[in-house]
Structure 1
């Protein structure tokens, strides 16, 4: 592809020598997992977000699993989760023995619909997982009101939203607990996997810290308070994330600049293209996702121009084979199902060359000009 979607070679080019040095320094340190570099990263994220507790773990799915277990999810417990999302927001519930209760989403933003959330609350509901996707945040104020009304714990899936804000409040600590993922594709992408749990709740912080490391309290080794996991962050990942965090705000601003160019170029293509443009300056653009008429044709056209795209996500979670046991049918989640047929992610990353941005814009505009001519 002339215009790649992820383009890791460009994204990591600046850090080539630094990465080699990090690997070497960790290799000769005798400290490989959950040592001083991880503690430094936890402190840095604490300062960046204002969270009281930051617990570094192996990946974002692990963070969800640990938090759900700390919140008491298991057999007989219902957890409300979006019908349109990455699978881990539902699979982690099921793997703990709980029941995912899927909630439809807003037809434009793709975020959890508070109205449907209220309809889906059951007597066994204990936790709700509002998930921020792409560059958009769930309606946390409305979800909080419903959670308080029904005595629900709020697990904010802010995996892609480090640095994002909603009405001035920072993503991740607007619920009882949240998380940030450092999978390489994320805005603060690491070398390998990684994530942190964030919370202002002392008990959730205490339990999460033990669950990540075999139920140990971090004070007395080989004394296990809980049955926990081996879900620790390694020193190489932490060291690189510390390095990259120093320029993170600049990376976010570059992403916003590119998104702003896309927004301006595509606004006259409505309703053929729908894009969420609200709260632009408070958003973190993990991916730039549009809802597009004739999505599959557009994708093929862009590929013919050498432009790589991604579909997030092709099937609503309740209709995935993995959740067939819940008995959902096509039409049960109309908004989520509609978005799966229209969503398309265009290339966007901080190091993206301006000529690539223009190639994408020209190609998308050209496609719909051709469509209109033949309409």
Structure 2
């Protein structure tokens, strides 16, 4: 029996008829992009999160781009961003001709390290992007305190963390601005791509709303207040996301149940296998990532048993060829670099059957037993 990592067929099976109906209804409506469905979904996200403003866009990366542009990020501006993350948290900075200033991460959690953050602040620093990855949240209280002292805007990359919260505040609203991604693999995965910006800042919200749609204010068509983008969400994506949001809490609860089984099964495997199990915030499990001292061996062992895995991420961002112009070298970000050699993501999605969970657990335990016998 094979155990797929993404298994989109299972994820969308329940909504097959709904999806066909949405596509048909939008197709005969004459309203395809940024219409009533998008407005309704924005309202639903405001209600779910408590955000004052929600601005739907075409994907999570464009959400970052729009926020950074709205903040005036450009040449001569430094933006602090984690060295271990998806490329968007750095590429969006560079594409605006600003400078990504990479910050090393905590060796245990893999999230932006507040101590290194403070050490990396420059006179040109204007924004910091703490990123929540997998199911782990950045230390937002420490980052917020540092940012306030240095007058930095906190752009919370909460792309994978819709539904998570810390100290009673939803992820995405712990900074000055935030965002969620609706790429199909995400906890609230769409049919196609999508993203949304959230903020309680009126001026920033209005500026983001204009920049996503060619700089128009949404009142007078073809009056362009700014040079904006075509970063709009379409009606099919919005209507499906609103439908799926109705059962989203059940979906993330099922993800948490699977993660709890993994946590219990792997607790005795430390230090060879380590998992972040902090419980001082309410987590949402996007992916289940463990750290293994024998990561490549473990991945091959699982693959031989039909279990698909993913490596998030195989190379620290400062060492990516795209950022060679910044002059970083191996050893500059030791914690981020170490994580790229140890991190492995196991299958986890709400529709994952229990027998697949059993197979993953049995295989990881079997590998650990095999290693113990030969040590």
Q: TM-score category by the smaller chain?
A: over 0.9
Which residue is 1:258 aligned to?
A: 258
Q: Does 1:157 align with 2:150?
A: no
Which residue is 1:236 aligned to?
A: 236
The number of residue pairs the alignment matches comes to: 375
1:256·1:280 contact (CA, 8 Å) conserved in 2?
Answer: no
Per-residue displacement from partner, 1:233-277 (whole Å, max 9, x unpaired)?
A: 000000000100000000000000000000000000000111011
1:224 CA displacement: 0.3
1:168 CA displacement: 1.9
Which residue is 1:100 aligned to?
A: 100
Which residue is 1:134 aligned to?
A: 134
User: TM-score, with normalisation over the residues of structure 1?
Assistant: 0.99
Provide the C-alpha distance between the structure 1 equivalents of 2:166 and 2:275, rounded to a whole number of angstroms.
Answer: 18
Q: Structure 1 regions of 5+ residues with no counterpart? A: none
What secondary structure is seen at the aligned counterpart in 1 of 2:289? Answer: strand
Which residue is 1:347 aligned to?
A: 347
2:164·2:283 contact (CA, 8 Å) conserved in 1?
Answer: yes
Give runs of ≥4 in structure 1 deviating > 6 Å: none
1:167 CA displacement: 2.1
Provide the C-alpha distance between the structure 2 equivalents of 1:293 and 1:78, rounded to a whole number of angstroms.
Answer: 35
1:311·1:343 contact (CA, 8 Å) conserved in 2?
Answer: yes
Provide the C-alpha distance between the structure 2 equivalents of 1:20 and 1:281, rounded to a whole number of angstroms.
Answer: 38
* Superposition map of 1:299-338 within 5 A: 299-338=299-338
* Superposition map of 1:102-117 within 5 A: 102-117=102-117
Q: Which stretch has the larger CA shift, 202-211 or 281-290?
A: 281-290
Provide the C-alpha distance between the structure 1 equivalents of 2:211 and 2:59, rounded to a whole number of angstroms.
Answer: 14
Provide the C-alpha distance between the structure 1 equivalents of 2:54 and 2:169, rounded to a whole number of angstroms.
Answer: 17
1:256·1:281 contact (CA, 8 Å) conserved in 2?
Answer: no
Which residue is 1:172 aligned to?
A: 172
Q: Structure 2 regions of 5+ residues with no counterpart? A: none
1:214 CA displacement: 0.2
Q: Does 1:78 align with 2:101?
A: no
1:169 CA displacement: 1.5
Provide the C-alpha distance between the structure 1 equivalents of 2:167 and 2:369, rounded to a whole number of angstroms.
Answer: 37
Provide the C-alpha distance between the structure 1 equivalents of 2:338 and 2:8, rounded to a whole number of angstroms.
Answer: 31
Question: Aligned Cα RMSD in Å?
Answer: 0.8
Which residue is 2:57 aligned to?
A: 57
Provide the C-alpha distance between the structure 2 equivalents of 1:183 and 1:252, rounded to a whole number of angstroms.
Answer: 16
What secondary structure is seen at the aligned counterpart in 2 of 1:73? Answer: coil
Provide the C-alpha distance between the structure 2 equivalents of 1:99 and 1:282, rounded to a whole number of angstroms.
Answer: 33
1:280 CA displacement: 7.6
2:78·2:124 contact (CA, 8 Å) conserved in 1?
Answer: yes
1:293 CA displacement: 1.3
Using a 3 Å threshold, how does the CA distance of structure 1 residues 281 and 248 change in structure 2: closer, same or farther? Answer: farther
1:166 CA displacement: 1.2
1:111·1:137 contact (CA, 8 Å) conserved in 2?
Answer: yes
